[in-house]
Amino acid sequence: MNEEMIRAMVREAVARRLAEPSEPVVHVPAAFFAAHASHGRYPLTPSDGPCVIEPGVPCNHCGYCESHGH
């Protein structure tokens, strides 16, 4: 396998990844259930405002406020 073949494979993989989905993606919040409490997440609505944990910074959607934080 030469470099040009690898580049073609990478271009094809990136094109597939960036292609529009055939069906619309609907975000359905999961219920608070996990094998262990530290892995569960609360179904909160996404925020584009300040962070719930640290209001002085904008929300970066880290998910910390949706969990118990451990």
Give the tens place of pLDDT for each residue, 47-59.
788 888 888 988 8
Average pLDDT of the chain?
A: 75
- Identify whether the C-beta of residue 56 lies closer than 8 Å to the C-beta of residue 50: yes
> How much is the pLDDT for 26?
58
The confidence band for 63, taking pLDDT boundaries of 50, 70 and 90, is confident
- Identify whether the C-beta of residue 43 lies closer than 8 Å to the C-beta of residue 30: yes
